[in-house]
Amino acid sequence: MRNRTRSAVAFAAVAIVAVPLTVTATTAAWNTTEWVHGQVGTSTIDCTDGTGFASVASGRFLSGSLLGLNLDPIAELEQMRLALDGAGDVTVSPGDAIDLGSAPPDEYVYANPFDVTALSAINVDLTGFTVGLPGAQLGAVNQYANVATDGTAVGASGLVNDSGAVLVSDATPPASLPAPARVGLSGVLPGIAGIADVDLEIGAVAASSQLDGCALLREELWGETAPATAIVRDYGIAGLGLQLDAPVVGGLVSGVTDAVDTLGDAVDLLTGPGGLIASGVGAQVDLALPGVLTTSVSGDVSLTGLDLLGSVSGLLSAPLTDGVITIDLQDGTIDVDLDALLPSLNDAAPNTEVVLNDTVLNPIVDRAGLLLDTWTTQIVAALTAELRESSLVIDLEALVAAPGITIPPILPGLPPVTLLGLDVLSADIAFTGTLGAALDGTAALSIDADVVGLVGPVNTLLAALGLPTVTDLLGVVEGLTATLLSGLTTTVSDTVTGALTTLGGTLAGLVTPVITALGGVIDALPSVVSLMVNVQPDQPGAPPGATALPASGDSTAQYRVSALRLGLVDALGTVAAVTLATATAGPVTAP
């Protein structure tokens, strides 16, 4: 058996077509070596001018079974198959396949582009593959076969050009690829709170099998060494991903909105004539003056230029991504680029199993947790910045009054003297600046105090109460700048910092269900999904049920390759396997 070699891959953009279609195409060209050797039965094998070979080639994009449905008998999913007999007669299946430029009786080349609408009844979404790609002759989902009387055969399927060459690999530009296909996994995964649906996303795939039957027959029958290109199997996979429809993610935005409203309500407590700032100013003036005096505060405290929800609107609309995990807050989805966490899906050895284990999958949850933690930190930072930059205006008047008092008569026989209560002094306390300055203790408060009414009566009342003069009291009030600033900073800091701390805890509570839901999917995935790439039935390690015809007599073996095999295990333990992009060349039979 010859070792598989990889063909040169032509990278070109292609577009989907529907039957019928007129295309201009070229047929495959093969370099043959002139090897002539006597008789095999009644035939002479001439690899230069050989004719009379019988050969078979086929391409099938989708086969197998999915959730109890056998895909193989579905007529719309029929493969492209050519069977050429030794007399030069060819059987084309399906009958309405597109002739790409056959040259009968020597060569036949046909395509049967895949009908994505045939999948409406099953849980596979390939509609993305209909995205048009500029400058192409055939579709992203194509099925191709080429047979010739000189013993060459080519089968291809998937994203291939009109010569059956694979057009997808690690190096294919994303702009040249269609949208991924989706295979629903909800039917095999257990129910997970916060998760509505789970899809495995499969990027564009392709496979090609090319066989120089004449050269291989000379090797098999007579031991002549065939060139390495006698058997060439190639495949390509653009990517592999996971998409979760997660209502729990959608709850993040509404949860943040509610938390921001709560923060706004807490900050509002600072403002107004009866708010925390005004009340604190009145209490501190009261505390600085003799207890018999009373202080009342009027005026206003306001915050302007504050748009808390607007400050985080960008964080609530932009997807969160690190290039591997993408959390779309608006759509309520989580996308995982599995391909980025796995060894290359391309250029793998035949029958390479893609291992989904803790080493591969656990980083998904870690990455999502880091994204969400960073996001919540950014929200708190944005709200903090918005609060600090808002404009705080303090315009208060503290009015200090002395109570009335009755004093004994000055001379016997005279009635007691009643001194009525008086307003003693008023202090205008003002500040205009940022809330950040109040938080930092750098706000420049101004205090302008003055006596109310006539100094004489006021001092008389104060003296009767055993209090200092109004001039002394004015000095006390005007000296309260540092005290009032300290109180202002404490009041604002306690309110704002406390509200932000509460908000941070709320956000952490919103994130936890998302991580839990994602972890539930990741934990279940290895037990229900198996993946294998570069599936070749004739090579060691082929999966169960993968078969290919062996060589016999004067016929070569059948050489098959599938880009991807997806196995699913449901709750009853039933295994279903779907194969994507299968190409088959051979057997080729000598004349």
CA distances from 400 to 36, 244, 542, 570 (A): 122, 66, 94, 81
Q: How far, in Å, CA of 62 to CA of 395, rounded?
A: 76
135 three-class SS: coil
Q: Which residue has the tokens 């016999």?
A: 552
Chain centroid to CA 341? 14
Q: How far, in Å, CA of 93 to CA of 41, rounded?
A: 31
Please report the DSSP string for 129-164 in residue order. GG---TT-SS-SSEEEEEEETTSEEEEEEESB-TT-
SS in 3 state form for 171-203? CCCHHHCCCCEEEECCCCCCCCCCCCEEEEEEC
CB 39: neighbour CB atoms within 10 A?
Answer: 8
161 three-class SS: coil
Sign of CA dihedral 485, 486, 489, 492: negative
- What's the pLDDT at 573? 65
Q: Which two tokens stand for residue 219?
A: 């090797």
- What's the pLDDT at 172? 78
Q: Which stretch of DSSP H or E encloses residue 358?
A: helix 358-389
Phi, psi angles (nearest 5°) of residue 534: 55, 55
Phi, psi angles (nearest 5°) of residue 175: -65, -15
* Digitized pLDDT (tens) for each residue of the chain, 591 residues in all: 333 333 322 222 222 222 222 222 222 333 333 334 344 443 456 676 667 899 999 999 888 877 667 777 776 678 899 999 988 899 999 998 889 889 998 999 998 876 665 555 555 555 444 333 333 333 456 889 999 999 999 999 988 777 778 878 777 777 777 777 778 888 788 889 999 999 888 888 899 999 999 999 988 877 778 888 899 999 999 889 999 999 999 899 999 999 999 999 999 999 999 999 999 999 999 999 998 999 999 999 999 999 999 999 999 999 999 999 999 999 999 999 998 999 889 999 999 999 888 888 989 999 999 999 999 999 999 999 999 999 999 999 999 999 988 777 767 777 777 777 899 999 999 999 999 999 999 999 999 999 998 999 899 889 989 999 999 999 999 999 999 999 999 999 999 999 999 999 999 999 999 999 999 999 999 888 999 999 999 999 999 888 889 998 889 999 999 999 988 887 666 667 889 899 999 999 998
CB 367 within 8 A of CB 322: yes
Strands, E assignment, 380-488 = 391-402, 405-407, 417-419, 422-434, 446-451
CB 252 within 8 A of CB 378: no
Domain coordinates in residue numbering, the chain: 251-303+388-492
* R_g of the chain, CA atoms, integer Å: 41
The residue type of 63 is S
Q: How far, in Å, CA of 112 to CA of 19, rounded?
A: 8
CB 580 within 8 A of CB 563: yes
334 three-class SS: strand
